[in-house]
């Protein structure tokens, strides 16, 4: 089944050209089916790139998805055209009376700041609390996941001495979890962050269960059943060249940066990188969408009751 996107949204043509089934809202309205309402709270600077990445993953499932793009109410983005934001995004305060089957909260390049110093922290905390009555399942990604787990459980993020940057091998710690259905015993995930969550602190919270972890970069995917949430600290959604873009940006800007580990063939930046995580990325987000479909009420107004 397709994902419903406005025909003028850049992701519409990008995904259609990749073979993803995409449907306009007008065509979707003629179908006698309730699509899953999935919202994307996009905190990343490159809004369009992030839209494409997540729409690609949730649009590849057998279920019809109706994607809603959300932004923080007062925060003004500097890296995406105002026309794009006005056309496709709604502020949180405008959607807070609506209900959604799922919500993805992205990362943000502000991990050096204490959570409480983020300019939109107070409103983001409102979003977290709102999910408990208006969203069936929430997926916090990278900084978004760290912020959620801090808000609900008081777990702190810790600054790393050097950036965790590259493709790191991870282990399936919960083979029977429905979110990891079809996963191999170990696999590679892109990582790009200056902070970490520590396993001992997560283990000290009985409500949290680590599903994926790494000896090199620590916990990756954590289930929080008590808040109907998943937290992932790494980047299954990344395109093949996202780490390359980040590396090239830092090199060009004179920012000290190591070559991303295990990413380029022979760790040679002159060679094109290989995508070794794509299949597991589709598995994870497909499993998440399927779990939402199995648990969400047919009547959206029943969510949170």
**What pLDDT shows up at residue 121?**
98
**What pLDDT shows up at residue 2?**
67
- Mean pLDDT over 96-102 rounds to 98
CB 257 within 8 A of CB 165: yes
The least confident of 25-29, 85-89, 300-304 is 25-29
Q: What is the pLDDT of residues 230-281, one digit of tens each?
A: 999 999 999 999 999 999 999 999 999 999 999 999 999 999 999 999 999 9
Statement: residue 1 has pLDDT above 80: no
**What pLDDT shows up at residue 19?**
75
**What pLDDT shows up at residue 95?**
98
**What pLDDT shows up at residue 24?**
80
Statement: residue 96 has pLDDT above 90: yes
Confidence of residue 33 (pLDDT cuts 50, 70, 90): low
- Mean pLDDT over 191-220 rounds to 98
CA distance readout (Å), 154 to 46, 135, 141, 227, 283: 29, 21, 17, 14, 30
Q: What is the pLDDT of residues 186-199, one digit of tens each?
A: 999 999 999 999 99
**What pLDDT shows up at residue 4?**
83
CB 224 within 8 A of CB 231: yes
Residue 143 has which token pair? 């900084």
- Mean pLDDT over 68-90 rounds to 92
- Calculate the CA 264 to chain-centre distance: 24
Statement: residue 117 has pLDDT above 70: yes
Looking at per-residue confidence, does 239 or 21 come out higher?
239
Q: How many CB atoms lie within 10 A of CB 141?
A: 27
- Mean pLDDT over 14-35 rounds to 76
**What pLDDT shows up at residue 181?**
94
Catalytic annotation, pick one of 51, 111, 142, 227:
142
Statement: residue 37 has pLDDT above 80: yes
Statement: residue 297 has pLDDT above 80: yes
* Domains, the chain, ordered by start: 3-158+169-239+275-302 (3.40.50.880), 241-273 (no CATH)
Catalytic annotation, pick one of 237, 246, 280, 291:
237
Measured distance CA(251)–CA(85) in Å, rounded: 30
Counting residues of the chain whose pLDDT is more than 90, the rounded percentage is: 86
Our answer to whether residue 237 is catalytic in this structure is: yes
Confidence of residue 78 (pLDDT cuts 50, 70, 90): confident
Q: What is the pLDDT of residues 38-63, one digit of tens each?
A: 999 999 999 999 999 999 999 998 89
Confidence of residue 25 (pLDDT cuts 50, 70, 90): confident
Statement: residue 26 has pLDDT above 80: no
Catalytic annotation, pick one of 153, 227, 235, 280:
235
**What pLDDT shows up at residue 270?**
96
Our answer to whether residue 235 is catalytic in this structure is: yes
Q: What is the pLDDT of residues 141-172, one digit of tens each?
A: 999 999 999 999 999 999 999 999 999 999 99
Mean pLDDT of all residues in the chain? 94
Confidence of residue 77 (pLDDT cuts 50, 70, 90): confident
Which residue's entry shows tokens 């449907």?
23
Statement: residue 23 has pLDDT above 90: no
């Amino acid at each position: 089944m397709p994902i419903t996107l406005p025909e003028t949204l850049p992701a519409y043509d990008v995904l259609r050209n990749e073979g993803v089934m995409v449907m306009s809202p007008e065509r979707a309205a003629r179908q006698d089916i309730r699509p899953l309402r999935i919202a994307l709270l996009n905190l990343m600077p490159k809004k369009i790139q992030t839209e494409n990445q997540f729409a690609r993953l949730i649009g590849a499932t057998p279920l019809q998805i109706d994607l809603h793009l959300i932004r923080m109410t007062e925060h003004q983005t500097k890296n995406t055209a105002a026309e794009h934001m006005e056309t496709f995004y709604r502020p949180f305060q405008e959607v807070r009376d609506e209900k959604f089957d799922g919500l993805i909260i992205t990362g943000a390049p502000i991990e050096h700041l204490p959570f409480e110093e983020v300019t939109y922290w107070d409103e983001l905390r409102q979003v977290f609390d709102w999910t408990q009555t208006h969203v069936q399942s929430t997926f916090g990604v990278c900084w978004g996941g760290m912020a959620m787990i801090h808000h609900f459980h008081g777990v702190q993020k810790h600054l790393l001495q050097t950036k965790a940057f590259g493709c790191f091998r991870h282990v399936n710690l919960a083979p029977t979890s429905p979110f990891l259905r079809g996963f191999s015993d170990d696999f590679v995930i892109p990582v790009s962050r200056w902070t970490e969550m520590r396993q001992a602190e997560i283990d000290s919270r009985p409500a949290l269960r680590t599903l994926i972890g790494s000896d090199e970069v620590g916990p990756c995917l954590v289930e929080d059943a008590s808040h109907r949430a998943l937290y992932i600290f790494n980047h299954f959604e990344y395109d093949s060249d996202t780490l390359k873009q980040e590396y090239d940006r830092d090199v060009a800007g004179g920012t000290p940066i190591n070559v991303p580990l295990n990413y380029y063939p022979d760790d040679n930046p002159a060679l094109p990188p290989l995508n070794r995580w794509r299949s597991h990325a589709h598995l994870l987000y497909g499993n998440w969408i399927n779990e939402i479909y199995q648990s969400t009420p047919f009547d959206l107004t029943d969510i949170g009751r």
